[in-house]
């Protein structure tokens, strides 16, 4: 059965929403709303970093606290940087990963994608998300 390009696009957008929704949510990790200010982000991070710092918890809770501390630190590293936060808000964690591999949001396209231009970059991004989703199943 051959699907139309419109049907494929609808499925791609649906799956993109599912895949992005399944990822880590930096705002939730810090207990914040998406509209949180820089000051609120910093305050939440400091509070949670102290609470979950591996040196500040009993030995039997250290492994769990260390995992939480790393999540909170990763969330703060992204949300405290205005450029990374903008990319995260638009593309999620996959956008941050692409950025770390050299993708520059202001230039359009994706790493290794040959530029592509504004409209093509979202198509390529959806393709990468779908490919990642399929390969992880």
Are residues 39 and 70 located together in one domain of the fold? yes
Q: pLDDT of 35-50, one tens digit each?
A: 999 999 999 999 999 9
Are residues 90 and 127 located together in one domain of the fold? yes
Are residues 68 and 95 located together in one domain of the fold? no
**Residues above pLDDT 70, as percent of the chain:** 60
Structurally, how many domains does the chain consist of?
2
Considering the domain boundaries, does residue 1 fall inside one? Answer: no
Are residues 74 and 93 located together in one domain of the fold? no
Are residues 75 and 91 located together in one domain of the fold? no
Placement of tokens 């590293």 in the chain: 77
Closest CA to 97 of 13, 6, 24: 24
Considering the domain boundaries, does residue 33 fall inside one? Answer: yes
Higher model confidence: residue 133 or residue 64?
Answer: 64
User: What is the predicted pLDDT for the residue at 115?
Assistant: 35
pTM score of the predicted model: 0.62
Domain finish residue from 63, 80, 97: 80
pLDDT band, residue 109 (cuts 50/70/90): low
Which residues constitute the domain of residue 105?
A: 83-137
User: What is the predicted pLDDT for the residue at 19?
Assistant: 47
Burial 61-89 (b: 16+ CB within 10 A, else e): eeeebeebbebbeebbebbeeeebbebbe
Are residues 98 and 75 located together in one domain of the fold? no
């Amino acid at each position: 059965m051959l699907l139309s390009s419109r049907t494929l696009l609808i499925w791609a957008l649906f799956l993109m929403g599912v895949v992005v929704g399944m990822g880590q949510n930096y705002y939730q990790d810090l207990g914040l709303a998406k509209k949180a200010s820089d000051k609120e982000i910093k305050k939440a991070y400091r509070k949670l970093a102290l609470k979950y710092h591996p040196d500040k918890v009993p030995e039997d809770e250290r492994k769990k606290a260390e995992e939480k501390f790393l999540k909170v630190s990763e969330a703060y590293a992204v949300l405290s940087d205005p450029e990374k936060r903008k990319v995260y808000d638009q593309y999620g964690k996959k956008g941050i990963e692409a950025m770390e591999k050299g993708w520059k949001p202001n230039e359009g396209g994706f790493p290794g994608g040959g530029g592509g231009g504004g409209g093509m970059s979202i198509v390529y991004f959806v393709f990468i998300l779908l490919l990642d989703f399929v390969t992880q199943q």
